[in-house]
Structure 1
Amino acid sequence: MTDTTQDSIQNATLETFPRAGFMRRFGGWVYDVLLSIAVYMTAGAISFLIFGLLVNYGILSMRGHDHLIDLQQSSIIYSVLIYGWNLGWVAFFFVWFWSKSGQTLGMKAWRLRVQNRDGSLISKRTAIKRLLPTLLGLGNIWVLLDGKNKLSLQDKLTDTEVVTLSKEANRGRL
């Protein structure tokens, strides 16, 4: 990263930006849902490949089933492991981007950034805390109920905010 890029990022975090309203957050959410589905499907393909290899090499038994999916669906343990793996990668997607740059790809497209109230990037721990109250995006409905402060449920519970960046501040991030 060049010095001028680093300086512009530092200056952008020192600037104050307005908090994002519901419609802008919703736009970013739609993009991120599509990306989350892609991450989930990719993780699912990888997990099923690993599952298939374990059966192929005799580490796991088919237990009388003809197809891998039947084996997976017949076992709560296999199902929890596979679905947990897939959801873990989706969670990782959000935690990584929120803590690295404050923006997922959908947020970047809508010039949104999640940050601490002092304008600094959130930590990985705070990003993890944001996951559950986000409630698949439903936590943003709180913005409609709290129009004055424009804070979502996850913002209130983690002492963070989502702001709308200027075009200049949004350039070169991620």
Structure 2
Amino acid sequence: MPRRFHDAEELLPPATAFKRALAIIYDGLISIAVLLVATWIYTIIAGWITGWDQYEQMAEAGQLSGDPGLTFTLFLVLYLFFGYFWTRIGQTLGMQVWRIRIENLDGTPVSWSQALRRYVTAAAVIFLTLLASHYLGEATLFVTVPALIALFFPINGLSVTDRLSDSVVVAVPKALNTP
């Protein structure tokens, strides 16, 4: 029998857009710190494997710009970070502060595949939004704002990431906010 956050019959209300936004900002700041540490570790390992003198020459020549290995590593590290919290306790650190949680409709934690769908959907929309902003210039607002609203904020209680990962983001009462 899978672990449940609450009884299957109990339905928690959907999280508000305001709480989602605050949790996203909070988790975004934490993500920056995680990415800085991951980049530091990647650089140490890459410099050690390549040789520090050669690695320094490559950096000075601009050959390390857009390093696909670093890009993949950072993408993977963030997925593991978010996936760990989503699958274990349903809440990232920012979500804990604002008392919201990702769960299945029956109150069970999401699976790693659901976390992957949620993460890839968010990453794809953010990437396409940044790409559009690069090519559209001032018309970006007409693309960026609706894309981010559809991605993260609920329409009829479910956002795009909720729908594609078959999960919901709910408001957690104070008594239930313990992992």
> Matched residues, percent identical?
30
How is 1:13-162 mapped onto 2 (pairs within 5 angstroms)? 13-14=6-7, 15-56=10-51, 62=54, 66-70=56-60, 73-74=62-63, 79-134=67-122, 135-136=125-126, 138=148, 139-141=151-153, 143=154, 146=155, 149-162=156-169
Structure 1 unaligned segments of length 5 or more: list them: 1-8
Q: How many residues align?
A: 151
Larger radius of gyration: 1
Structure 2 unaligned segments of length 5 or more: list them: 127-146
2:170 match: 163
1:6 match: none
Normalising by structure 2, what TM-score?
0.75
- Tell me if the contact between 1:97 and 1:104 (Cα under 8 Å) persists in the aligned partners: yes
1:4 match: none
2:6 is paired with a residue of what secondary structure?
A: helix
Q: CA deviation at 1:28?
A: 0.5
1:114 is paired with a residue of what secondary structure?
A: strand
Q: 2:76 corresponds to which letter in structure 1?
A: G
Kindly tell me: are residues 16 and 45 of structure 1, through their superposed partners in 2, closer, same or farther at Cα, counting changes over 3 Å?
same
- Tell me if the contact between 2:58 and 2:64 (Cα under 8 Å) persists in the aligned partners: no
